[in-house]
Chain A
Amino acid sequence: MAQLNILNKIYAAGPLILLYYLSISDVDANLENFLEIFSINLQLIIIYFWMIKRPTLMGTGHVFVAGLINDVVMGFPLGISSLSYLVVCFVGNYIRNKSVNTTLASDWVTFLIALLLSNLLFFSLINNFSDLVIPFAKIGYNTFFTLFLFPIFWFLFNIYQMSFIGSQDA
C-alpha cells in the first residue's frame, strides 16, 4: 500500500519534473537542423495543460523557479521567463474558474490567448529593457508552432493523466 502511495506521488510529480528538466537541461524542442524556423515552447504547453486539468500538480511557486532557472540557462534577463509562465498560469486559472467542462477545442482557443499574452510580454520586455534583440518573426514562428502542436501534447498529457493520475478533471 505504501509502495503504491509512493508510486502515485512520483506519477503526480511527473509534469513538474518534466518542467524542471526542460528548464535546466540542454534538451530542447528546437529542431533547427531539420527546419530552420521550427521551435516550440513546450514549457508553456505543460504549464497551461496542467493548470487547467490539475492545478494541484503545478504549483505556481515551482513555475516561478523553473522560469528563473530557464533564464539562467538561456542567458535571458532574470525573471522574464517566470513572468511569461505566470501569465499562462493566470489565464489557465481564469479559464478554469469560468468554465465547467473543457474540451480540446476550448482549451486550444484559450491557449491561444495565453500564448499571445505571454509571448507579447516576453517580446516587449526583452526588446525594450534589455540589450538583446529578438525579431518579431522568431517569436511569431515559435507562437505558431507551439499553438499548432498543442493538440498533440494535449492528447499525450491526457493519456498520462488517465493512465497514471486519474481521469477526474479539476
Chain B
Amino acid sequence: MSVSRDDFSIAFRSALLQRGASQKFSIFSLIIIAIIIFFLDVYGFAVVKTARGVINDVVYRVSFLASTPKRIFPSLNSEIASHFNLKKENEELRKVIEKYKALELNLEYLTNENLNLKKVLNAENISNVSNIILAKVLVDRNSPFLKSIIVNKGSKEGIEKGMPVTKDNNLVGRVVETNYLSSRVLLLNDLNSRIPVTLDADNSQAILSGGGTAKPKLEYLPEGYEFTEDVNVFASGKDGIFNPGTPIGETTIDGEVDLFIDPNQLSFVTVILKKNEKKF
C-alpha cells in the first residue's frame, strides 16, 4: 500500500517538476506564472493593461497575416467562378443600374420630405454622419464560446469602449476593447450581448440576447406577446449607446431575430464615434 502511494507521489512530483532537454521550464513554474498573469489581467492592473494593448496590436496583425490562406482560397475560387459568369453578371448589373436610376429620382424628394418632417417633429436625436470610421475586419475567429471580431482601428482614431458598430446602416455590435491600433467588437449573437430593442409592429420593447448561435433571441417582451414572422427589429436607444431606430433584423416565429447582417460575413464595418452616457 505504502509502495503504491510512493509511486503515486513520485510520478506526481515528476510530472509537475521534471525538466528535460527540451523542457526548459517545469509545468509547476509555468502554472504559477499563468495564474499570476491571469489575476493581474482580471483585476486590471495598469501595467498589464498597457502590455496587453501592445501584445494585442502585434498578435492581431500577425493573426491577420496567418489567416491569409483562409481568406485567399475562397476568394480565388469565387473569382474564377465569376470570370466564367461575366456575361450574366453584366446583364444583372445593367438591371441593377436601371433600378438605382429609378430610385435616385425618388431620393431627392424623400430627403426633402424627411428634413421637413424632422423639423415638424423637432427631433433631437439626429446623428452626425460625419462622425463615423470605416474599419477593416482583421480577425473574425469564431470561437465556440465568444462571437467577436477585431477591426484595424483603435484609440488612435478616437474609438472608445461601447461605441456602436454598423454595416450598411444595420447594427452589428459594439466595441468592447480598444487598443492603440485595433479594437474588439462584440457581435449581437455573442453570449454576453444584451441590447434594448423596439419592434416596429406595435412599438413593443424587448431585450435582444445573444445565445452564441446565429440568431439572437428576444426576451422581456410584454406578457402574452405572440411572435409573428418578419417584424422589423430596431435598436431602441434606451441604453444611450445605440442610435434609436438602427435596424437590426427581422423576427422569426420562434422569437428569434434573423439579423440583416450575417455576423460571419463581415469584411468592413463602420464605427460610430459617439460619446456614451454609460460607463463600461
Q: Measuring CB to CB, which residues of chain A are less than 8 angstroms from any residue of chain B?
A: 21, 24-28, 30, 32-33, 36, 39, 41, 55-57, 59-61, 63-64, 67-69, 72-80, 82-83, 86-87, 89-91, 93-94, 96-98, 125, 129-135, 138-139, 141-142
Q: In the complex the two chains form, is A79's CB within 8 Å of B35's CB?
A: yes
Q: In the complex the two chains form, is B139's CB within 8 Å of A30's CB?
A: no
Chain A facing B: main interface SS: helix
- Do A33 and B264 form a contact, CB below 8 Å, given A72-B55, A78-B41, A83-B35? yes
CB-defined contacts of B10 to chain A, threshold 8 Å:
97
Asked if B144 is at the interface of the complex by the 8 Å CB criterion, the answer is yes
Q: Mark B94-126, 1 if CB is under 8 A from A, else 0.
A: 000000000000000000000000000000000
Q: In the complex the two chains form, is B264's CB within 8 Å of A83's CB?
A: no
Q: In the complex the two chains form, is B145's CB within 8 Å of A138's CB?
A: yes
Asked if B225 is at the interface of the complex by the 8 Å CB criterion, the answer is no
Of A64, A79, A135, which one neighbours B41 at CB under 8 angstroms? A79
- A55 CA / B18 CA spacing, docked (Å): 12
Identity of the chain B residue whose Cβ is nearest the Cβ of A74 in the assembled complex: B143
Q: In the complex the two chains form, is A36's CB within 8 Å of B27's CB?
A: no
CB-defined contacts of A59 to chain B, threshold 8 Å:
22-24
Chain B facing A: main interface SS: helix
Identity of the chain B residue whose Cβ is nearest the Cβ of A64 in the assembled complex: B30
Q: In the complex the two chains form, is A55's CB within 8 Å of B23's CB?
A: yes
Q: In the complex the two chains form, is A32's CB within 8 Å of B30's CB?
A: no
Asked if B14 is at the interface of the complex by the 8 Å CB criterion, the answer is yes
CB-defined contacts of A125 to chain B, threshold 8 Å:
38
- A21 CA / B66 CA spacing, docked (Å): 7
CB-defined contacts of A32 to chain B, threshold 8 Å:
142, 144, 213-214
Q: In the complex the two chains form, is B16's CB within 8 Å of A90's CB?
A: yes
- A22 CA / B138 CA spacing, docked (Å): 16
CB-defined contacts of A60 to chain B, threshold 8 Å:
23, 25-27, 30
Identity of the chain B residue whose Cβ is nearest the Cβ of A56 in the assembled complex: B22
Q: How far is the CB of A61 from chain B (nearest CB, A)?
A: 5
- Do A93 and B18 form a contact, CB below 8 Å, given A30-B144, A132-B192? yes
Q: How far is the CB of A14 from chain B (nearest CB, A)?
A: 15
- Do A25 and B144 form a contact, CB below 8 Å, given A55-B23, A79-B41, A133-B192? no
Q: In the complex the two chains form, is B30's CB within 8 Å of A82's CB?
A: yes
Asked if B132 is at the interface of the complex by the 8 Å CB criterion, the answer is no
CB-defined contacts of A93 to chain B, threshold 8 Å:
14-16, 18, 27
- A96 CA / B23 CA spacing, docked (Å): 15
Q: How far is the CB of B267 from chain A (nearest CB, A)?
A: 13
Identity of the chain B residue whose Cβ is nearest the Cβ of A134 in the assembled complex: B145
- A94 CA / B17 CA spacing, docked (Å): 11
